[in-house]
Amino acid sequence: ETGVTQTPRHLVMGMTNKKSLKCEQHLGHNAMYWYKQSAKKPLELMFVYNFKEQTENNSVPSRFSPECPNSSHLFLHLHTLQPEDSALYLCASSQDYRREQYFGPGTRLTVT
């Protein structure tokens, strides 16, 4: 595997379900990010981890819970989501904050 991988690629869940998104980067980067991408809106930064430590949480609802067990893996735990949470969730990594980010293919999430 190369670059940034994400699983699953597609996810349909009910509002009462609990699921997790997984991201893995094979680039030796130190920073990892979760973004939400909705139609006609700019990418929304959700969480940032630097050397496994969470450094940013942009007022994200508590129904989204990130986890970073090591510098190569990032998870986004989901529970009791709302239909408006349906979107493309992107994971990215970079060498540090000031450098370009490399994105995974995303998980298309649909909340029913």
Partner 1 sequence: EDQVTQSPEALRLQEGESSSLNCSYTVSGLRGLFWYRQDPGKGPEFLFTLYSAGEEKEKERLKATLTKKESFLHITAPKPEDSATYLCAVQAGTGANNLFFGTGTRLTVIP
**Between 16 and 28, CB nearer to partner 1:** 28
CB 112 to partner 1: min, Å? 20
**Residue 36 or 85 with smaller CB distance to partner 1:** 36
Minimum CB–partner distance for residue 16 and partner 1 (Å): 28
* Nearest distance from C-beta of residue 93 to partner 1, angstroms: 11
- Up-side HSE of residue 8: CA atoms within 13 Å toward CB? 9
11-32 exposure pattern, b = at least 16 Cβ within 10 A, e = fewer: bebeeeeebebbbbbeeebbbb
Cβ–Cβ under 8 Å, residues 44 and 30: no
Where does this chain bind partner 1 (CB under 8 A)? 4, 6, 31, 33, 40-43, 45, 48, 50, 55-56, 58, 90-92, 97-106, 108
